[in-house]
Amino acid sequence: MPNEKLIHDWMVSYLKDRLSRDYNDVRANSEPEKKNEFNGYYPDLILGNHGLVLAIMEVETEGSITPEKADEWKKLSGLGAKLVLMVPKTSKAKVIDLLWKKGLADKTSVGSYEIAVSMP
């Protein structure tokens, strides 16, 4: 998909706004400037309350879901905060399969998104 970076960045921005209702500290990292670090890594979103990081979130697009990316998820899942992946709805089964193969199915939550356009 040619506009995957646009979709990724929009989803990060949308989720930051949406999750700020549930968490009082929501920090986002976007390319090329990564300024919010968590234990040496820069996840797309860092979610916290009262000074504690409760979860980290990675937004994926169809093209970014690879076995190499799953290795990154494995590193992120071991940082002490819950890892949440937001993936395209059509790729959710592929992601869950990758998580099982990497031994991460019990350590990671998977959410999905879809962009729907209705034409007359």
Domain boundaries, the chain: 4-29+36-113
- 4-29+36-113 CATH pick, 3.10.20, 3.40.1350, 3.40.50, 1.20.120: 3.40.1350
Q: Each residue of 48-89: pLDDT tens digit?
A: 999 899 999 999 999 999 999 999 999 999 998 999 999 999
- Asked if residue 118 lies in contact with residue 89, where contact means CB atoms within 8 angstroms, the answer is no
**Cα separations in angstroms, 6 against 1, 18, 31, 40, 87:** 10, 18, 11, 26, 14
Q: Each residue of 7-52: pLDDT tens digit?
A: 999 999 999 999 999 999 999 997 777 889 899 999 999 999 998 9
Residue 116's pLDDT band, with cuts at 50, 70 and 90, is confident
Which residue stretches of 1-120 are H helix? 4-19, 67-77, 92-101
| Whether the predicted pLDDT of 1 surpasses 60 | no
Task: Please give the model's pTM, rounded to 2 decimal places.
Answer: 0.90
